[in-house]
């Protein structure tokens, strides 16, 4: 398993040569959010499709 430092190096290496600081920040943000989501799935913290839809419907303002 690669270390966090190795993963970040690989992520940066995949960015285009003209990437900005904002591009790097966004790539790191997306990668971190994906990692957090995978951890939630592994720990059983997920919703069924029906539960997610019910929550979203509860957000509506009529």
CA distance 9 to 61: 44
Per-residue pLDDT of the chain (62 residues; tens, 9 = 90+): 789 999 999 999 999 999 999 999 999 999 999 999 999 999 999 899 999 999 999 897 76
From 3, 26, 34, select the one nearest 14 (Cα to Cα).
Answer: 26
- Contacts of residue 2, defined as CB under 8 A and 6 or more positions apart, other chains included, come to 10
Count of C-beta atoms within a 10 Å radius of residue 31: 14
- Which pTM does this prediction carry? 0.70
For residue 21, the enclosing domain spans 4-59
Domains of the chain: total: 1
CA distance 59 to 62: 10
């Amino acid at each position: 398993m690669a270390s966090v430092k190795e993963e970040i190096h690989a992520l940066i290496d995949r960015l285009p040569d003209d990437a900005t600081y904002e591009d790097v920040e966004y790539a790191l943000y997306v990668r971190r959010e994906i990692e957090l989501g995978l951890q939630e799935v592994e720990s059983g913290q997920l919703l069924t499709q029906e539960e997610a839809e019910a929550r979203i419907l509860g957000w509506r303002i009529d």
